[in-house]
Amino acid sequence: MSAPKPFAPSEIQRRLRRLHAALRRQRLDALLVTTPINRFYFTGLEASNGVLLSERGAPPAFYTDFRYLTMARRMAPWLPTHLIWKPALEPEVVAGLGHSWCRVGYEGAMPAARFLKLQAALPDVEWVDATALIQSLRAIKSPEEQHRMRAAIAANDRLFEKTLQQTTPGMSEWEISAIVRREAERLGQGESFPAIACVGRNAAECHHQPDDTVLRRGQPLLVDLGLKLDHVCADMTRCVSFGTPTPLWREIYQVVLAANRAAIRAIRPGVPCKAIDAAARDMIKQAGYGAYFGHSLGHGLGLEVHESPSFSTECTTELAPGMVLTVEPGIYLPGRLGIRIEDVILVTKNGCEVLTRTPRELPRCVRI
CA end-to-end distance (rounded Å), the chain: 33
Q: How many CB atoms lie within 10 A of CB 283?
A: 22
Which of 123, 138, 153 delimits the end of a domain? 138
pTM of the model: 0.95
Q: 191 with 215, same domain? A: yes
Which regions of the chain does DSSP assign to beta strands (E)? Answer: 30-33, 51-55, 61-64, 81-83, 103-106, 126-129, 196-199, 220-225, 228-229, 232-233, 236-241, 298-300, 307-311, 324-327, 330-333, 337-340, 343-347, 352-354
- Digitized pLDDT (tens) for each residue of the chain, 368 residues in all: 789 999 999 999 999 999 999 999 999 999 999 999 999 999 999 998 889 999 988 899 999 999 999 999 999 999 999 888 765 667 777 766 666 889 999 998 888 888 888 888 888 899 999 999 999 999 999 999 999 999 999 999 999 999 999 999 999 999 999 999 999 999 999 999 999 999 999 999 999 999 999 999 999 999 999 999 999 999 999 999 999 999 999 999 999 999 999 999 999 999 999 999 999 999 999 999 999 999 999 999 999 999 999 999 999 999 999 999 999 999 999 999 999 999 999 999 999 999 999 999 876 666 75
Full DSSP string of 238-283: EEEESSSPPHHHHHHHHHHHHHHHHHHHH--TT-BHHHHHHHHHHH
What is the tally of structural domains in the chain?
Answer: 2
In a domain, 2, yes or no: no
257-305 per-position pLDDT tens digit: 999 999 999 999 999 999 999 999 999 999 999 999 999 999 999 999 9
What is the pLDDT at residue 96? Answer: 64
In a domain, 4, yes or no: no
CATH number at residue 169: 3.90.230.10
Q: What type of residue is 210?
A: P
Question: Which domain range does residue 98 map to?
Answer: 9-138
Q: 123 with 163, same domain? A: no
Closest CA to 355 of 344, 366, 364: 344
Q: 313 with 207, same domain? A: yes
Q: 43 with 189, same domain? A: no
Q: 75 with 105, same domain? A: yes
Which of 138, 173, 197 delimits the end of a domain? 138
In a domain, 3, yes or no: no
Q: 206 with 129, same domain? A: no
Q: 112 with 248, same domain? A: no
- Bridge partners of 214? 172
Which of 119, 138, 157 delimits the end of a domain? 138
In a domain, 1, yes or no: no
CATH number at residue 72: 3.40.350.10
